[in-house]
Amino acid sequence: MKRKFILYIALIGLIGLITSCEKDGTDVTMLKDPIAPTLNTVPNLILERANGTDTLIFTGTPVDPGFEASTSYYLEACASGNNFVDAAIILTAVHVDELKITVSDLNGILLKKLPADVTSSVDLRIRAVLVVDAGTGALGTSAQPLEYISNIKTVDVALYGLPRLDLNNSGMDQKIESPLGNGIYKGFVKLSVANPFTLTDPDSGTEYGGNGGNLVASGPGLLVDADGWYILSANTNTLKYTMEAYMIGLVGSATPNGWNSPDSKMDYNPATGIWSITIDLVAGEIKFRKNDGWAWNLGGTPDNLVHDGSNLPIASAGNYTITLNIISDAGELATCTITKN
C-alpha cells in the first residue's frame, strides 16, 4: 500500500512538471493578417537653409505580426505617383514611434531625387522588414522576407539649393556644398595625385588653392597622396581644409587579392549615393570595408549589412556587378546587390 502511495505521489509530480513546462513555453503564432505599420504624422517639408539645424520628427505605429519580432523600419520617399521605384531612404530605425532628422540632412538626401528651389509633390511611407529565423531559408529570412508597407502620405516638399565650391582640374565635374550656407563646405570627391586642383566659389568668383590644411586665395593646387575617393571639407571663414580618404572596397577569398590589401576599390555615384564595381570573382566569400582596414566593415545579408557581419558567399566564378547603398555611415548599416553578368 505504501509503495502504491509513493508511485501515486510521483505521478502527480510528473504531471505537474509537464504542465509547468507547457506554461513556461511561449507559442509563436503569426496573425493571419498582420497589422501593417502606419505613418501617422509628417512635419512641414517646405525646407529653408536658415533652419538647417532644426530637427524634423515623423511619427508612426509599429507593425503587429502577433508576436515579438526583430524589425527594421525604413522611411521612404519618391516623386508622387512613382510607386516607390528608385525611392530615397530617408531614415532606417528599429523603432518607429519617432523618426528624427535635421532639415539639412533631409534636404541633402532628397536633392539626390528631387530638384531644388521648386515645390514637388512627394509620396512618403514606412516599410517594415521582419526577421524571424535567419539562416534557414525559411519564411522571414532574407530569401523570403516578411515585408509590410504603411499607408502613403502625399505632401508638398520644397528643397533649397546649396552654395557650392567647384573643383577645377580634378579630372571630372565635381563640387562640394554648404548645407547651412555658412561658408562650411563638404562632399565626396574623386581625386588623383596627377591632378592638383583648386576650388572656385561661383558666386564671388574667388579661387582657392593652398597646402598643409590652409586655403589661400589664388594659391597653388591642392594635392593628395593616393588616387581615390575623399571627404573634402573647406571652411572659407577660417581658410582651412581637410581631405579624409573614404575608399570602399571588396575583400575576401573571392576577390583578386583574397583577404589581403589592397582591396578592390568601388566607385561612387554622387547623384545616387550608390557605390559600385564590376569585377571578376572566384567562388568564395566577400565583405565590404573602408580604407583597407577592419575598423569599418560590413557583412550579413544583402538586405541587411551590419558592422562585422558574416561573410557574403559567392557561389561560382564569373564577372559580377556589385552595388552598395550605405544607409548609415556611423551606424555601419547598408544594403547591397550582387549580380552575375
Backbone phi and psi for residue 340, each to the nearest 5 degrees, phi listed first: -85, 125
Mean pLDDT value of segment 75-89: 94
Predicted confidence at residue 8, as pLDDT, reads 43
pLDDT band at 138 (very low <50, low <70, confident <90, very high): very low
Pick the CATH number of 164-245 from 2.60.40, 3.40.1800, 2.60.120, 3.40.1350: 2.60.40
CATH, range 248-340: 2.60.40.3620
Q: pLDDT (tens digit, 9 = 90+) per residue, 287-304?
A: 999 999 999 999 999 999
In the chain, where does the domain assigned CATH 2.60.40.3620 lie? 248-340
| Range 68-94 average pLDDT | 91
Using alpha carbons only, what angle is made at residue 42 by residues 71 and 32, rounded to the nearest 5 degrees?
A: 35
What's this model's pTM, rounded to 2 decimal places? Answer: 0.68
Class of the CATH domain delimited by 38-158: mainly beta
The pLDDT assigned to 137 comes to 46
For 241-252, the pLDDT digits (tens) are 999 999 999 999
Q: Read off the DSSP letter of residue 298.
A: E
Which sign does the torsion angle of CA 159, 165, 166, 172 carry?
Answer: negative
63-84: b (≥16 Cβ within 10 Å) or e: bebeeebebbbbbbbbbeeeeb
For 61-76, write each residue's pLDDT tens digit.
999 887 777 888 999 9
Residue 158 has what pLDDT? 97
Beta bridge partners, 119, equal: 158
